[in-house]
Amino acid sequence: MTTESDPRPTTGDPRFAALPSRPGKVLAVHLSYPSRADQRGRRPAHPSYFLKPSSSIAPSGGTIERPAGTELLAFEGEVALVIGAPARRVPVSQAWSHVAWVTAGNDFGVYDLRAADRGSNVRSKGGDGFTPLGPGLVDAGTVDPEQLRVRVWVNGTLAQDDTTEGLLFPLAQLVADLSQHLTLETGDVVLTGTPAGSTVVVPGDVVEVEVDAPGAPGAPTSGRLVTTVVQGSTPFDASVGSVPSVDDAQRSEAWGSREAAGLPAEPAGVLTPELRAKLERAPVAGLSGQLRKRGLDDVTIDGVRPLHPDRKVVGTARTLRFVPHREDLFASHGGGYNAQKRVFDAVREGEVIVVEARGVTTSGTLGDILAIRAHARGAAAIVTDGGVRDLDAVTAVGIPVYAAGAHPAVLGRRHVPWDLDLTIGCGGTTVQPGDVVVGDADGVVVIPPALAEEVADATLAQEEQDAWIAERVAEGHPVDGLFPMNAEWRARYEADRQRSATP
């Protein structure tokens, strides 16, 4: 709420009517609410930020244009901080004193425009009108920064409702951290992240954001920040720069879930805890032998060796395909948030990223940063029939990696990251998303999901039999008739099994 000492000018650019002046910069944090971080599947150890131009600021009661050719305009209700006194290298204990006011903010973004520069968010979040603020200012000195509430309504229905209590990074920490790197100047705006509940809006929708402090004296409030979505009509010029593009992964993130986006649910995983435990005991050599008995002889990923030969790998395949390098295709598909980065961001716990690199080892297909990302996401392993760069650093990450060799060059030397989550060829074998992948020091085998249980049971039974044969050979028996077993030896083996099974 505002008072008689309202700092805002009565004249000037109407875009900045909610603020004391046009801010020199607008800074925004990527993730700060636990509910949003859990929805994204990651909890960062430290805050990270991006810049928004002050030209993106808009007042309450205005409109936001969904650009022509896009479908995924999403709102993000946020607590916005307005800096009242310059802050440079201030400690957390003093940081809040540099905040003069609190207000409501809406960090709109177009997911269709993230492909070329995700992270910087210049295209997706920097458009005119993409940062509505206001309508009123709350005196920061009258509220507890850990007891603020942000709520969002879409067409009158509550969509977001959360408080600043329990943030991953408290508001004062954000101010202190930013001040380590740059001077926060009077009038600058800090957008402090959004909780779960952000989703897509369409032309005609009305979005309202309110920030208040219900526990503070007088229950001060920003009032409702109102924005109406309208449809843009001017298309992007493909000859100038990036144009809108979307896939199901972007739809799922923009809407908040696959269900909300109208996408089919991810298929249920075949790897139950019981089956996983069996496969962890079953050697790759044994699994390969059992698959061959069932007519599947081309199921080993050839030419790859483990960086961690002592580690057993069991998981389901998540696939990535590189095509041969071509300059124009690398220009269109190699930069920004390309297929390689998307699969490492999307991999889920227990999945194995399998990369088709056509056996080309004269370029890297991943390095330490992507290995760290896969490890943080809980991936079971990475398998590539191409090269790995930063080999020592990748090995040190700890995630099991199978590769055809090491090479210092980046993928643009030989490869274009083309697409993901499709049937690929890796090391001479076909791999489909959801296939069961098992690896040990001998190599990597790919098992069709429908056969996984049967093959695991048969392999363990064979291992038990082979162990019994090994004991007989160690006793001095010749292998003739014993390996494989003839009828006499088979009868002795079954008799021993029966005796050992009898209580």
Predicted confidence at residue 245, as pLDDT, reads 86
Residues 8, 13, 18, 22: is their CA dihedral positive or negative? negative
Average the pLDDT over each of 236-245, 266-275, 455-464 and give the range with the smallest value: 266-275
- Alpha-carbon 158 to chain mean position: 27
Both 86 and 213 in one domain: the answer is: yes
Asked if the structure places residue 215 within a domain, the reply is yes
Asked if the structure places residue 462 within a domain, the reply is no
Average pLDDT over residues 436-442: 96
Both 235 and 279 in one domain: the answer is: no
Asked if the structure places residue 3 within a domain, the reply is no
Maximal CA-CA distance, the chain: 102
Predicted confidence at residue 3, as pLDDT, reads 40
Both 378 and 435 in one domain: the answer is: yes
Q: Which tokens hold the place of 250?
A: 């972007």
Burial of 205 (0-12, 13-18, 19+ CB in 10 A): middle
- Measured CA to CA, the distance from residue 398 to residue 411 in angstroms comes to 22
- Alpha-carbon 229 to chain mean position: 28
Predicted confidence at residue 494, as pLDDT, reads 85
Q: Which tokens hold the place of 214?
A: 């219900």
Residue whose C-alpha is closest to residue 317's, from 190, 155, 429: 429
Both 447 and 472 in one domain: the answer is: no
Average pLDDT over residues 341-349: 90
Residues in a beta bridge with 403: 305
| Local confidence band at 9 (pLDDT 50, 70, 90 cut-offs) | low
Task: Pick the last residue of a domain from 205, 229, 255.
Answer: 255
CATH at residue 200 = 3.90.850.10
Both 242 and 328 in one domain: the answer is: no
Asked if the structure places residue 134 within a domain, the reply is yes
Asked if the structure places residue 5 within a domain, the reply is no
Q: What is the residue range of 277's domain? A: 273-453
Predicted confidence at residue 223, as pLDDT, reads 97
Residues in a beta bridge with 313: 439
Helix (H) or strand (E) holding 412: none
- Measured CA to CA, the distance from residue 196 to residue 267 in angstroms comes to 24
Pairing mode of beta strands 206-212, 149-154: antiparallel
Both 145 and 63 in one domain: the answer is: yes
Q: What is the pLDDT of residues 14-43, one digit of tens each?
A: 999 999 999 999 999 999 999 998 887 778
Both 378 and 242 in one domain: the answer is: no
Both 137 and 278 in one domain: the answer is: no
Q: E-assigned strands of 118-166?
A: 131-132, 138-139, 149-154, 157-163
Both 156 and 108 in one domain: the answer is: yes
Residue whose C-alpha is closest to residue 72's, from 99, 108, 33: 108
Asked if the structure places residue 260 within a domain, the reply is no
- Measured CA to CA, the distance from residue 129 to residue 127 in angstroms comes to 6
Asked if the structure places residue 2 within a domain, the reply is no
Mean of the per-residue pLDDT values of the chain? 92
Predicted confidence at residue 333, as pLDDT, reads 84
Asked if the structure places residue 408 within a domain, the reply is yes
Both 216 and 308 in one domain: the answer is: no
Q: What percent of the chain has pLDDT over 90?
A: 74
Both 282 and 250 in one domain: the answer is: no
Counting the structural domains of the chain, the total is 3
CATH at residue 344 = 3.50.30.40
What predicted TM-score, i.e. pTM, was given to this entire model? 0.64
Both 115 and 139 in one domain: the answer is: yes
Residue whose C-alpha is closest to residue 422's, from 432, 409, 412, 414: 432
User: Using an 8 Å Cβ cutoff, are 151 and 210 in contact?
Assistant: yes
User: Using an 8 Å Cβ cutoff, are 320 and 353 in contact?
Assistant: yes
- Measured CA to CA, the distance from residue 360 to residue 363 in angstroms comes to 7
Residue 498 in this model has a pLDDT that exceeds 90: no
- Measured CA to CA, the distance from residue 36 to residue 174 in angstroms comes to 17
Predicted confidence at residue 325, as pLDDT, reads 93
- Measured CA to CA, the distance from residue 5 to residue 213 in angstroms comes to 20
User: Using an 8 Å Cβ cutoff, are 444 and 300 in contact?
Assistant: yes
Q: What is the pLDDT of residues 56-95, one digit of tens each?
A: 999 999 999 999 999 999 999 999 999 999 999 999 999 9
- Measured CA to CA, the distance from residue 427 to residue 291 in angstroms comes to 17
Task: Pick the last residue of a domain from 229, 255, 281.
Answer: 255
- Give the angle 406-412-416 at the CA atoms, nearest 5°: 105
Task: Pick the last residue of a domain from 209, 226, 255.
Answer: 255
